Amino acid sequence: MENAAISSSALDLLLLLRGSEPEGLGRADQVVYQIETAILMGILTEGDRLPTESTLAAELGISPITLRQSLATLRTKGLIETSRGRSGGSVIRRQVEFSDTQLRKKLRATSTEALRDIGDLGAAIASMSARLAADRADPQNIEHLQDLAKRHQDTADERARRRVDSRFHVAVSIASQSSRLTSAALQVEAELMTLWWGQLGPDETSVEHHAAIVDAIKNRNPEEAAIAAERHIRSGIEFLIEQHLRLTMEHGENA
């Protein structure tokens, strides 16, 4: 089966991830982080073909040499495969997954205050995105949100379900028709994906939250949309804080 070129919307989201990378990275490593994070979040999936090197370098605002350095690192990590020739190019080969140990360690090292800070920012972004989406979303935006909500409900694997949930939040910001809100939402979700350890209670809770957000946006009710979106974000953050405290106590007992 022929590998499909990434969509223009996926490329747009990849470009909006710029600025979310940790401080101190060189430009080649920043691009590695962008692409790796896009794979982690499910923006880029297995089998997706990246644009040609000249096109992708121009879109990212870097030289072809810098891009080749980035692609070489991604190949070493086994995330992409590159072939030469007329029909060649770089193709996504596998999903990024953090080990259980990595996630536990990162979440335990992140303070309660830092988690609440992320939650406050995420709630503000989600609330405003949903409010604006209730006014601005077009039928395609609403259909996409409904599709993501159904995919989340039907997905059995916990990590895959978390990726769909992350995509849902980003899709709400896209429906707000604000590139700045979308960029901010991407950065928050990228950070949360590296912290998410454990299973968030009964699936019905998230399913109900998604349905409430979609219904409010579809019914053009900005206030209800904002409340539902903020509630969903804050419930997730409270779960992470509970997990953080649990891991901290376990570590203290075993020290």
pLDDT value, residue 83: 84
Q: Determine, yes or no, domain membership for 3.
A: no
For residues 62 and 121, state if they share a domain: no
For residues 68 and 127, state if they share a domain: no
For residues 226 and 243, state if they share a domain: yes
Q: Determine, yes or no, domain membership for 2.
A: no
For residues 21 and 109, state if they share a domain: no
For residues 29 and 111, state if they share a domain: no
C-alpha 163: how far from chain center: 7
**Structure pTM?**
0.88
- Residues of the domain holding 28: 8-92
Tally of domains within the chain: 2
pLDDT value, residue 88: 65
The CATH number given to whatever domain includes residue 47 is: 1.10.10.10
Cβ atoms 163, 42 nearer than 8 A:
yes
For residues 195 and 87, state if they share a domain: no
pLDDT value, residue 240: 94
Domain boundary among 65, 92, 119: 92
Q: Determine, yes or no, domain membership for 1.
A: no
Span 164-174, pLDDT tens digits: 999 999 999 99
Domain boundary among 92, 110, 128: 92
pLDDT value, residue 201: 52
Domain boundary among 92, 126, 158: 92
For residues 22 and 69, state if they share a domain: yes
pLDDT value, residue 159: 85
The CATH number given to whatever domain includes residue 150 is: 1.20.120.530
For residues 126 and 53, state if they share a domain: no
For residues 115 and 228, state if they share a domain: yes
For residues 134 and 225, state if they share a domain: yes
pLDDT value, residue 189: 93
Q: Which residues of the chain have pLDDT under 50?
A: 1, 202
